[in-house]
Amino acid sequence: MASNSSAVIRASAQTLTDPNELIGSVETFIFDCDGVIWKGDTLISGVPETLDTLRSKGKRLVFVTNNSTKSRKQYGKKFETLGLNVNEEEIFASSFTAAAYLKSIDFPKDKKVYVIGEEGILKELELAGFQYLGGPELDRVAKTLPENIPSSVKRFIDRAVLQSRKNSTREYTFICEEVH
């Protein structure tokens, strides 16, 4: 099995001599959004032409982002604002992935999910029919936790609240340590 992995790595490291050969050999192209399709609210040069070329050759396009501030619908509007025609079904944001994962494990819809994250996650959970606590209003929710909550969980939530206050981009960058 290691030899197959090595072959894949070697193939990906080869110099591209014929772009059409590469395009012809690939069915789906996956693009990260931040820094590949756009920077902030600015479309990166050459993106529309590249996407049009790939679509004209019948290629499937997938757009991914680990930014949970928006739902797929909101990302669809951002693509539209930038002049790109992208279907919601082609967008895989971490917010959508969270809801899709819960569906995949048949998470009970009558149970609640505690969200340490952004508005996009909440929107996707709502669309999927899941109940939740937390989210951007984490401060308020943390103050309403029951008295009998385990101290390890309370410390974890307190760290999340503290980090969300510190981080001006509202991206949660703290590292979750094992809860004891």
In-domain check, residue 51? yes
pLDDT, residue 10, reads: 53
In-domain check, residue 40? yes
> How far is residue 85's CA from residue 149's CA, in Å, rounded to a whole number?
47
pTM of the model: 0.70
Q: Over its length of 180 residues, how does the chain's per-residue pLDDT go in tens digits?
A: 555 555 555 555 667 788 888 888 899 999 999 999 999 999 999 999 999 999 999 999 999 999 989 999 999 999 999 999 999 999 999 999 999 999 999 999 999 988 888 899 999 999 999 998 888 776 566 666 667 777 777 777 666 666 555 543 443 333 333 333
Residue 30 CA to chain centroid, in angstroms? 13
In-domain check, residue 91? yes
In-domain check, residue 179? no
In-domain check, residue 173? no
CA triple 55-65-155, angle to 5 deg: 165
pLDDT, residue 96, reads: 95
In-domain check, residue 118? yes
In-domain check, residue 125? yes
Q: Per 3-state DSSP, what percentage of the chain is helix, strand, and coil (rounded to 5)?
A: 50, 15, 35
Domain range for 150 is 2-166
In-domain check, residue 178? no
DSSP state of 134: E
DSSP state of 127: H
DSSP secondary structure string, 50-117?
HHHHHHHTT-EEEEEE--TTS-HHHHHHHHHHTT----GGGEEEHHHHHHHHHHHTT--TTSEEEE-S
Task: Tally the domains of the chain.
Answer: 1
Contact assessment for residue 52 and residue 83, using Cβ atoms and an 8 Å cutoff: no
| Active-site annotation, residues | 27
Domain of residue 63, CATH code: 3.40.50
